Amino acid sequence: MAFHDIIVIVLAVTVVVVATIAFIFYRQNRRDRLVRKRWSHISSDLIVILKELEPQTGTLTRRR
C-alpha cells in the first residue's frame, strides 16, 4: 500500500467522523429549534413556568 493511499483513507475516515458528530449535534438541537419556532409568535413575557402560577380556587362546573 502506498503512502498516498494511507493519506486518502485517513482523510476519508476523518470526514465521516466529523460528519457523524455534526449530525448528532444537529439532531439534538432539532427539538429545541422546533419548540422555539412553534411558540415564537407569543411574547416571551407571557410564557411562565406552571410551578410559578398560583393555584386557582373554584370549580369548573357551570353555575345554575
Residue 53 placed within a domain: no
Full residue range of the structural domain in which residue 16 is found: 3-48
Number of residues in the chain:
64
Residue 8 placed within a domain: yes
Residue 58 placed within a domain: no
Residue 21 placed within a domain: yes
Q: How many domains does one find in the chain?
A: 1
| Distance, CA of 17 to CA of 56 (rounded, Å) | 53
Residue 43 placed within a domain: yes
Evaluate the CA torsion angle 37, 38, 43, 47 in order and state its sign.
negative
| Distance, CA of 11 to CA of 31 (rounded, Å) | 32
Report pLDDT digits (tens) over 30-55: 877 777 777 777 777 776 666 666 66
Report pLDDT digits (tens) over 3-37: 899 999 999 999 999 999 999 988 888 877 777 77
Residue 62 placed within a domain: no
